[in-house]
Structure 1
């Protein structure tokens, strides 16, 4: 059976036998066309392809600018094809089985500049419902001022108790939260956040919290969800005039980046964020360097090349 017939038979198998979606079959078709072209250029048939061929083609795709994720998807298609060839008795081994795509660089976390973060934290809407305004202002102050995860925020109760996942100690100025891996940590709460919390707690009692222990509740008296906070924060950031919608984790990134810029204390930032591994925290050193590099490029006379 020639290469074209093998490919056609396999595509029929995934379309009819595995009942894959038309879009998936189309992608498989394109991947196998590329495989056939590579094999033809190498002077071999599809059943004669070796591991070295596949590695060479991966290197060519990578040097040609294809992303690691894109290469991984192509390899997945090829791997499935050769697994089927093996089951049908056309090849003795799968030449793609131990070939991996190049690792894609991890994107830097998105953080606000100091001015934008302060603009959002200071924003207030005079015509808004005072109850909602006080609640949302306290949420922003805790996310940016303490670097909390949104899951930690929604788990906070208004008072400490044996069943509370987390709570705020106003007198001590601390937030006690339950983080990832059920690990507890205490985070200092700044003056602005304490003021916002006190304003919210004064109004919270007048709203429909229905005996809920939750620190942040909605209009129906139930604990706010992470999704609700995402939506409220997105709307608030746009009303505050920020160029991009803000989500809760962006404020956590902003907290970490700004504390690191000021203190240069990576270990302290690790403790504040509740990272088990300092390698997770080190991404903010890259973010800080990127900020410094942009400032250099914009301001230093030696940074500009002559045109």
Structure 2
């Protein structure tokens, strides 16, 4: 995506976006440009917009079928813009202060693969003859990378750490660069994708001679999922599976949080699709630990009188 020229931005938007970079800046710029256009259509400006204007925009997005997650993503930079303006003494009252964010589900609703389905997928992709997608699937499902991160990975980002292959991620959503070591299956997939090349992208499209694009990766993933006879999932679904299955395997939540590039454990918990199962298991494990089931002094329900004494 081409980064907008700061000279083309409204002075408030340019000022608010000053500390932001990368995808965060790009997304916020898009939403704030839409907000500016919306204000113009209502005959006002972003400087004179009121809470009513913001609430009307929220209702407009909802009427167009935008879900809670999308509405929240659109409102967040708008709220940030007016908080910045108030703190910069450009306005005396923050019109977005009382605008409530839409309630979002506490768990990700994305489909994911269980351990058996994931093993079937990995076994298929290892022999499918598509080295770039083999590496992509392994990086999404066994390293928990975000969808774009494998496509941005360069051969120059590969290295070693304590005898293992490592990958350098120049920018992560949580902030800063990161370096992860990979497991042997992921290393094998990366080496097959690189195939002796000394530079360029790790995920190489042999038809175009360029990095694998988002659209091509999506189409190839659908074909692979169909051929492997597993449910359709997105790269985000594979990432959610990495988080869920890692926690199910007993990996400490703190370690999963760092591997996934989350800034807090709350984000990790959001993608954990087995949290309800863990909670249920805790109930039974405590009962077993206390050795209450079937022990003297614990009255079976069949022996409890229908009417309890006062």
- Tell me how far 1:253 sits from its aligned partner: 1.0
- Normalised by the length of structure 1, the TM-score is 0.53
1:209-248 paired onto structure 2 within 5 Å: 213-218=200-205, 219-243=207-231, 245-248=232-235
SS at match of 1:173: strand
The structural deviation recorded for 1:105 is 2.6
Name the CA distance, whole Å, in 2 between partners of 1:136 and 1:102: 36
**CA deviation profile, 1:181-236 (whole Å, cap 9, x unmatched):** 5511122211111122222333x64xxxxx86111121211112233222221221
Counterpart of 2:252? 265
Task: Tell me if the contact between 2:193 and 2:204 (Cα under 8 Å) persists in the aligned partners.
Answer: no
Q: Which runs of 5+ in 1 are unaligned?
A: 1-16, 20-27, 32-67, 73-96, 161-165, 206-210, 297-307
Q: 2: CA distance between counterparts of 1:242 and 1:100?
A: 39
Which of 178, 185, 189 is residue 182 of structure 2 equivalent to?
189
Partner Cα distance (1:109, 1:138) in 2: 25
Q: CA RMSD in A?
A: 3.9
* SS of residue paired to 1:180: coil
| Aligned twin of 1:42 | none
Q: Which residue of 2 aligns with 1:114?
A: 115
What residue in structure 2 maps to residue 76 of structure 1?
none
**TM-score (norm. length: structure 2):** 0.53
Q: Give the corresponding residue for 2:62.
A: none
Distance (whole Å) between structure 1 residues aligned to residue 145 and residue 202 of structure 2: 14
Counterpart of 1:144 in structure 2 is 141
- 2:287 is aligned to none
Q: Distance between the aligned counterparts of 1:168 and 1:252, measured in 2?
A: 23
Structure number with greater Rg is 1
Q: Distance in 1 between matches of 2:169 and 2:236?
A: 16
5 Å-filtered alignment, 1:55-204, equals 100=100, 103-110=103-110, 111-124=112-125, 130=129, 133-158=130-155, 160=156, 166-167=157-158, 169=160, 171-178=163-170, 179-180=172-173, 182-202=175-195
Quickly say closer, same or farther: Cα 1:18–1:183, change in 2 above 3 A: closer
Structure 1 residue 173, shift from structure 2 partner: 2.2
Which has the bigger relative contact order, CA under 8 A and spacing at least 6?
2
CA apart distance, 1:113: 0.6
Aligned to 2:275: 289
Q: Is the 8 A contact 1:143 1:149 kept in 2?
A: yes
Q: Deviations over 1:108-138 (max 9, x none)?
A: 2532111111111110486x6x4xx222212
- Is the 8 Å Cα contact of residues 167 and 177 (structure 1) preserved in structure 2? no
Q: Deviations over 1:34-80 (max 9, x none)?
A: xxxxxxxxxxxxxxxxxxxxxxxxxxxxxxxxxx95xx9xxxxxxxx
Post-superposition shift, 1:263?
2.1
Matched-pair contact (CA < 8 Å) for 2:106–2:270: no
Q: Relative to total residues, which structure has the larger helix share, 1 or 2?
A: 1
Distance 1:140 1:98 in 2: 43
